[in-house]
Amino acid sequence: MDNVSESLPESSQSFWREDIDLSSFSSLQEDMEVDVVIVGGGITGITAAYLLTKDGVKVALLEASRLLNGTTGHTTAKITAQHGLIYDEYIQYFGQTNARLYYEAVTEAGNFIKKTIDSLGISCDYQVEDAYLYATTDEYARKLQKEYEAYQKLNIPGELVDDIPFSIPVTKALVMRQEAQFHPLKYLRVLVEETKNNGGLIYEETVAVNIEKEDRMIVHTRDGYRVKGKQVLICSHFPFYEGMGLYSARMYADRSYALVAETKETYPGGMYLSADQPNRSLRSIIVDGKEMVLVGGESHKTGQGTDVMNHYRAIEKFAHDLFTVENIPYRWSAQDLTTLDKLPYIGPITENNPNILVATGFRKWGMTNGTAAAQLMSRIVLGASSPYESLYQPSRFYADPSLKNFLRENIDFMKHFMKGKLQFPKTKVKDIQPGEGAIITVDGQRKGAYRDETGELFVVDTTCTHVGCEVEWNSGDRTWDCPCHGSRFTYKGEVVEGPAEKPLQQHHFQMLDNYTSEESGY
C-alpha cells in the first residue's frame, strides 16, 4: 500500500457526503422536451434548478454520476466574500467599478443562502463567523496592507489586525466580520427536494456529451437520448461542451487537500486562510454533535507535483503543530478551476450562442461564486436584467493578465503533453504492491497498472481521452490524473472528473511480471 501516515485514514472520504442521506434518482431512459436543460448537479445546477422551478420553468437536471459528488461535496464550505488576495488585483485589471461589482455579487449570494435557510427552515449547521486572511511573513504583510487599501477604495468592511487566536507567528491579518460557514449538503438536499416538488426533473448517472442546435437546443447523452430545451445551462464544473469557447485553453485545474481533526483544545472560532504559500485553511465543523477542526491547503496543479500523500502529510503536520490531535477521521481532496484572469466565466458560452450558458472557474470559492452564477443564469433565462452580466461575460478578454496567462498555460500543456510521451518505465511490475499504482510498459506502449488489496491487477491505457495527454498516478486518492486539463479517472479507468467524457481504455494482460514499471513523479 502507498505509505499513509498512521494517523491519517487509509482512504479518501469527504465528511460532507458520509454524514448525510441524499435522495437518489434514476438515469434518463427516454427523449424529452423541457424549457431549460441543466447539466451538472452541484451547487450551481441545483440552485439554478430551484430558482427556475420556483418561477414555473420546466427544468430537467442531468448529473453524470450522483448529485453533489463533485467539488461541492468536497469543499471547505465557507460562505464569504473574502476570497484571498483578490480585490487589489481586480482593481488593477478590471477597475474599481468591476471589483466592487464582484464583491456585491458574492455578498448577495451569501445573503441569498442565509435567506433561503431561514425561509425554508433548513438545519445545516449555519454559523456566523469572522473571516481572517493572515500573513506570516513581511512580504505578505505588505500584500495584506495593499489588500486592505483595496477594501477601503471599494468600501468593503474590513479591519487590519496584528494577531489571530492561534499560536501562528502572524505579521498581519485582514478581517471581514460576520461571514459564515455551513454544511453544504444539508442545505442543498432541501433545494433538491424543493426542485422536485416544484416539478423539476432530476436524473443521475446521465452523461451529457454534446449539444446540437436546431430550432431548440438538443442535449445528447452518452446513452443515446436527446433532451430538448430553449436554453442549456452548463454547470458541470468543467464545461462538457465548449462550443468554440476554448475553455480548455483558458483555465487550469488544481487540487487542494482537507482533513478533519478531533482536538483536545476548544476551537476559538473564526475562519482562517493564510495569504502565504503553501496556503493553510481552518474552520470548525460539527461531527456527530462534536466540534472538530477542518484543516485544508496545499494547492497544486492536477496531475503535477510531488506524491499526493506528501500534501496530506503537510496539512496533518500543520494540524499537529497547532493542536493536540486525538483523531483524524476524514481526509479528502478537491479540484477547482481558475480562469486566465481569476474571474469566473458566467453567461453565454460564446457571443453567438446566447441560449447556451456556462458557469465555471470559481477558483475555490464555489459556495458564493456558484450561488452567484445560479442567480445570474436564472435571471438571464427569465429575461431579467442583472448588473453582473458584463462582469462575468465568458467572452471577455483583458490583455493583462489574460494574454500572459494564456501563453503560460498552453506552454505548460505542451510541456506535460511531451513529457508523458517520453517516459520510459524501468522497474518490474511484480514490484507493485497491493494498494499501489504505477506506470508500466506493455509491448512498447505506456500503460497504467494498479494492484488492489486482493492482488488483482488493473491495467489501463494512460492516454487521456480528452486531448491525448498522459495521465499520472495519484497515490492519495488512487486515481489517474491528467496534468494538462485536470481530467481524473478511477484505477479502472472510469471518469471521475472532466473535461474527459470517455473512460480510459481497459486492458487485460496475462503474465505481466516481466514487464517494467516506474512510479510516476506525481
| Residue 115 banded pLDDT, cuts 50, 70, 90 | very high
pLDDT digits (tens, 9 = 90+) for 343-385: 999 999 998 899 999 999 999 999 999 999 999 999 999 999 9
- Give me the helix-helix angle, 43-54 and 184-197, nearest 10°: 30
pLDDT value for 6: 58
Sheet holding 59-62, edge to edge: 201-203, 59-62, 36-39, 231-234, 356-360, 345-348
pLDDT at 401: 65
At 473, list the grid cell.
498516478
d(CA 421, CA 406): 23
Whole-angstrom distance, CA of residue 488 vs CA of residue 490: 7
Prior bond of 165 cis (ω within 30°):
no
- List beta partners, residue 495: 489
Cα distance between residue 314 and residue 337, in whole Å: 22
Answer yes or no: is pLDDT of 295 > 50: yes
Record the cell numbers describing residue 8, joined without a space. 491519517
Q: Return the CATH superfamily for domain 15-397.
A: FAD/NAD(P)-binding domain (3.50.50.60)
What value does the mean pLDDT take over residues 89-109?
Answer: 96
pLDDT tier, 512 (very low <50, low <70, confident <90, very high otherwise): low
- The beta strands (E) that lie in 319-417 are given as 325-339, 345-348, 356-360
Residue 358 forms beta bridges with which residues? 234, 347
Is the separation of the CB atoms in 206 and 221 below 8 Å? yes
Predicted confidence band of residue 417 (pLDDT cuts 50, 70, 90): very low
The arithmetic mean of pLDDT across residues 185-200, rounded, is 97
pLDDT by residue (tens digit) across 382-411?
Answer: 999 999 999 999 988 765 565 555 555 455
Cβ atoms of residues 83 and 182 within 8 Å:
no
- CA 476/CA 308 separation, integer angstroms: 5
Confidence (pLDDT) at 304: 59
pLDDT of residue 73: 82
Please report which confidence band the pLDDT of residue 520 belongs to, taking 50, 70 and 90 as the band edges. Answer: very low
Of how many residues is the chain composed?
Answer: 522
| Distances in whole angstroms, Cα of residue 363 to Cα of each of 273, 372, 504 | 14, 13, 27
In the structure, what pLDDT confidence band is assigned to residue 2 with cuts at 50, 70 and 90?
very low
Mean pLDDT of the chain: 88
C-alpha cell at 123: 438545519
Cα separation values, 445 from 102, 340, 500, Å:
49, 35, 21
Cross-strand partners of 441: 446, 516
Q: Where are the domains of the chain?
A: 15-397, 427-518
Residue 357's φ and ψ, nearest 5 degrees, are -110, 145
Task: Write the pLDDT tens digit of every residue in 77-86.
Answer: 999 999 999 9
Which residue in this structure is represented by grid cell 492482488?
455
Q: Model confidence at 496, in pLDDT bands (50, 70, 90)? A: confident
Query: Quick one: DSSP state of residue 518?
Result: E
Q: Tell me the CATH number for domain 427-518.
A: 2.102.10.10
Q: Give the Cβ contact number of residue 130 at 10 Å.
A: 17
Q: pLDDT value at position 234?
A: 97
Residues 6 or more apart whose CB falls under 8 angstroms from that of 205 comprise 26, 27, 63, 64, 65, 66
Residue 191 has pLDDT above 70, yes or no: yes
What the block records as the C-alpha cell of 481 is 490524473
Q: What are the residues whose beta carbons fall under 8 Å from the beta carbon of 347, sequence distance 6 or more?
A: 357, 358, 376, 377, 380, 389, 392, 393, 394, 395
Res 428 pLDDT > 80: no
Question: What band does 4 get if pLDDT is binned at 50, 70 and 90?
Answer: very low
**CA 27/CA 29 separation, integer angstroms:** 6
User: CA dist 102 to 36, 83, 387, 389, 394, Å?
Assistant: 27, 11, 10, 11, 15
